[in-house]
Structure 1
């Protein structure tokens, strides 16, 4: 696995611009009434991965994130209306479990996918029972991914730049793979060590990163910029982090009563100003601010997404506060049942158009024809 993001296939081939995203969804736009529904479908598919199949397979968060990135990359080259996203999701989870060394047996993936996708609101009746169909779909998936299975996530940068005030070692073991301070300085060139965040603040930043996978930010921006945007949003909006930062800064600015001591003899380093810390990073702060704005816009959109008309969809892995009232943004509430109908209508209409062009009923996507058992 590549250890340098800048020389990896992730950076060289899988960071795209918005024009590429628009081109990828161009055909889907022909079969959807409201373009905003495609943004809701991005949330819908991620909920399928993380909330349903990924958790049922007991995949780690990193494997779930990798499965999501595989899914987004696949649909840079394919359209929703031409393929079966459900079998693609299952194949992405299966492939990611192996790529991230959390292997799930193909039999379990097929049976769990059939169980989940056959329930409300999905009602997928055509999911294959034959394990070889999923294995075949995995082959097509790897082909479209161009065998680029190396994925970098924002979690590594988050732990490289931040540390828990209470217990660094236990936090790193629980949350993910950490990076040493020396390595962090080599990457960022600040020489300022790490930004101290309270455990709740670090957890909040981690959850913000989880939430970003409900959009296509992982295709648009390098993971380290997403992590910095998550830290910025945590410092601005997380109450416990605000209080801790205010207390630390107030203490740091108090005049010292005793004689001045050399920094070499200090018992602990002087607390850092989070604003100065972020400003010292060798990144484009306007770009980080733009990413933060996109994350906020994602929350505004996600607020209108409900598992049901009276949703209880909030989870410990999310920073969103769900309630049973109408969306505060004033938009229409969208449910998985609605999106399932929209997706089915898109695929049916595409199939009818394709059949009229060919003069006979055919499978929409020949690559998936055998996999779907058509």
Structure 2
């Protein structure tokens, strides 16, 4: 196991560019009306992994590793040619082993069946051997690279926490000798002093980034620093402290000495031990990273929150089928859909299209409230919609494979290509 991120398989083989990720979704894009649906699928499956992980009582780091495994698997595969739900279960099962928190395969199968059943998935196998077989396919596509580095360790180290949030630390996240060097630690003098609420917000922001493919594009230390940067902006008391520091006029030492009345020796001794407030802006500026890149990553995270704000949890499958039947793909909404609470950094809060109905049934065109903006920009997406979308994508893909334009089944074409490549 690599103890240094920069010499690990994570850095050398699994830091990808956007062109590679677009190519990975090329097949799926043929079967969706809007490419944005694939971004909603990324949110949906990350939430699904998180729920299954919590049912299996896995630590947050194990859930994050399972999410990364899922993302890596679908760099080489497509949603329309696989069953993502058994992949979700296999990712949790393998991640628990890789992070030395193993769970029994029977527990994974039983919990997955109950959880997926809430989303209308009745085809998940009850046979443990199916999940065990999927485990081998998953590890093979991961190329046995099961070591994953996460931003949590960097966050805890930069904030001077030996271990926080349940001891979620990871050796080697900062690299060999990073405490004495200037790779991205900057001068290495001191730690960033944040209150517990601010550190918790940064931790939650890191959790939220796994709803996208940012973990495949950016190194973990950049994500951690960006989470701190967003926390300094959105955490109320921390932002007020920074504003007070930047707005207070500088005072000269001579003026302060002449204006202050003489004090007794004991008072001077007490004042000399008072700690000056930390220059938070100066600390961030001293980090050896590109702040322009941090700002770009911040905008991507905020865009993720804007997209996530249009996602609603609704486990009823009937509304999705009705919406497809009525052709309301671009204006799909769900009655009674609610959010899971306010999230930091929402870029839009009033642009979500309301899909509620007075009768509590499937929304119709007359029930949708359009404020003048485009329906595509205002649509609300639910898990029920995404599950049915996955089924339609798979059906269309199977039909194309059986009756391709060439007149030859796609499976036969692939076998011929392999035979020709072999000479």
TM range, normalised to the smaller chain? 0.7 to 0.9
Instruction: Work out the CA distance in 2 between the residues paired with 1:359 and 1:5.
Output: 47
Alpha-carbon displacement from aligned partner over 1:307-362 (angstroms, at most 9, x marks no partner): 0333344169x6478x9986289521111111111111101110111122487899
Please say if residues 71 and 92 of structure 1, whose CA atoms lie closer than 8 Å, have aligned partners that are also in contact.
yes
Per the alignment, residue 262 of structure 1 pairs with none
How far the C-alpha of 1:244 sits from its partner, in A, is 3.5
Per the alignment, residue 72 of structure 1 pairs with 71
Output the aligned Cα RMSD. 3.2
Please say if residues 81 and 394 of structure 2, whose CA atoms lie closer than 8 Å, have aligned partners that are also in contact.
yes
Task: Please list every run of 5 or more consecutive structure 2 residues that lacks an aligned counterpart in the other structure.
Answer: 259-270, 315-333, 354-372, 416-423
How far the C-alpha of 1:101 sits from its partner, in A, is 1.5
2:51 is aligned with 1:56: no
2:104 is aligned with 1:125: no
Instruction: Work out the CA distance in 2 between the residues paired with 1:107 and 1:255.
Output: 70
Aligned pairs for 1:3-22 (under 5 A) are: 3-22=3-22
Per the alignment, residue 198 of structure 1 pairs with 195
Instruction: Work out the CA distance in 2 between the residues paired with 1:93 and 1:344.
Output: 23
Higher relative contact order (CA 8 A, sep 6+): 1
2:395 is aligned with 1:348: yes
2:278 is aligned with 1:275: no
Please say if residues 159 and 178 of structure 1, whose CA atoms lie closer than 8 Å, have aligned partners that are also in contact.
no
Instruction: Work out the CA distance in 1 between the residues paired with 2:159 and 2:35.
Output: 38
Instruction: Work out the CA distance in 2 between the residues paired with 1:249 and 1:175.
Output: 34
User: CA distance change for structure 1 residues 315 and 155 in 2, over 3 Å: closer, same or farther?
Assistant: farther
Per the alignment, residue 230 of structure 1 pairs with 227
Per the alignment, residue 356 of structure 2 pairs with none
Per the alignment, residue 240 of structure 1 pairs with 237
Task: Please list every run of 5 or more consecutive structure 1 residues that lacks an aligned counterpart in the other structure.
Answer: 260-264, 367-374
Residue 306 of structure 1 aligns to a residue whose secondary structure is: coil
Instruction: Work out the CA distance in 2 between the residues paired with 1:324 and 1:244.
Output: 27
Per the alignment, residue 215 of structure 1 pairs with 212
Which one of 164, 168, 184 corresponds to residue 172 of structure 1? 164
Please say if residues 5 and 11 of structure 1, whose CA atoms lie closer than 8 Å, have aligned partners that are also in contact.
yes
User: CA distance change for structure 1 residues 191 and 104 in 2, over 3 Å: closer, same or farther?
Assistant: same
User: CA distance change for structure 1 residues 178 and 150 in 2, over 3 Å: closer, same or farther?
Assistant: closer
Please say if residues 10 and 145 of structure 2, whose CA atoms lie closer than 8 Å, have aligned partners that are also in contact.
yes
Instruction: Work out the CA distance in 2 between the residues paired with 1:103 and 1:124.
Output: 25
2:146 is aligned with 1:139: no
Please say if residues 185 and 193 of structure 1, whose CA atoms lie closer than 8 Å, have aligned partners that are also in contact.
no
How far the C-alpha of 1:184 sits from its partner, in A, is 3.6
Please say if residues 249 and 271 of structure 1, whose CA atoms lie closer than 8 Å, have aligned partners that are also in contact.
no
Please say if residues 202 and 227 of structure 2, whose CA atoms lie closer than 8 Å, have aligned partners that are also in contact.
yes
Task: Between 77-86 and 244-253, report the one with greater CA deviation.
Answer: 244-253
Per the alignment, residue 382 of structure 2 pairs with 335
Alpha-carbon displacement from aligned partner over 1:241-288 (angstroms, at most 9, x marks no partner): 2124345667895666569xxxxx964664332222111111111111
Which one of 311, 319, 326 corresponds to residue 337 of structure 2? 311
Instruction: Work out the CA distance in 2 between the residues paired with 1:8 and 1:246.
Output: 40
How far the C-alpha of 1:111 sits from its partner, in A, is 0.5
**Structure 2 length normalisation: TM-score?**
0.75
Residue 75 of structure 1 aligns to a residue whose secondary structure is: helix
Residue 381 of structure 2 aligns to a residue whose secondary structure is: coil
**Structure 1 length normalisation: TM-score?**
0.84
2:34 is aligned with 1:34: yes
Number of residues of Structure 1 aligned to a counterpart in Structure 2: 350
Residue 235 of structure 1 aligns to a residue whose secondary structure is: helix
Per the alignment, residue 111 of structure 1 pairs with 110
Alpha-carbon displacement from aligned partner over 1:50-103 (angstroms, at most 9, x marks no partner): 1x2111111110000000000000000000000000000000000011111121
